[in-house]
Amino acid sequence: MSIEPQSQKGYYLQGVTQRLYQVLPKKLHDHMDAWMTEIAPVTGAKSYGSGGMTLYWMKYTAVFDFERFPFTEFDPQVLFANVMAWLYDHDLYRDDHGLDSPTFDNEAETDRTSTVSIEIEFIEPVDIVLDPQGVIDYMGQKWTLAPHKEWAAEHGDIAVGSH
């Protein structure tokens, strides 16, 4: 699976999709659909001083739907556990923004298959970087949608002095 632009599929939706593809048998990949719904912008611009910034936040619900899921061959709890593990490892903003817990539904279709649905509320930054050819005009400059490079200090000095 290639990474699509954030506006087409949120990065977090793509991350969970990739995790599920890793754990699902290949023959089940065609049973899964994933999409974004309830997309809403949340204000909160922040400059990082490195030629990039978060312009706003994108809040959305990621929906994962599996039809004809063979629950007798593959335990749906493995899906749910992998989703939760992925969230604990990668969702940096869930607690800070008070997002709801994911919902999981497993509804029997036959004695061997079910419809499995997973819904996850996400919020993620929409970042822009300076770009003379960019199509976004903001603060008198041109910008492009792209993750910015975060700069972090690698060294620091502490000076302790006496009065």
Radius of gyration of the chain (CA): 20
CA distance linking residue 150 with residue 6, whole number of Å: 18
pLDDT tens series, the chain, 163 aa:
445 555 556 889 999 999 999 999 998 898 899 999 999 999 988 887 778 899 999 999 999 999 999 998 889 999 999 999 999 999 988 998 999 999 999 999 999 999 999 999 999 999 999 999 999 999 999 999 887 555 445 655 666 766 6
Q: Which residue has the tokens 């890793």?
A: 22
Enter the pTM of the model: 0.79
Q: Which helix (H) or strand (E) holds 27?
A: none
What is the model's pLDDT at position 149?
58
CA distance linking residue 141 with residue 135, whole number of Å: 10
CB 67, CB 117: distance < 8 Å: no
4, 9, 13, 16 alpha-carbon torsion, rounded to 10°: -30
* Per-residue tokens: 37: 């719904």
Q: Which helix (H) or strand (E) holds 62?
A: strand 52-69
Q: In Å, what is the CA distance from 21 to each residue of 18, 37, 112? A: 5, 21, 21
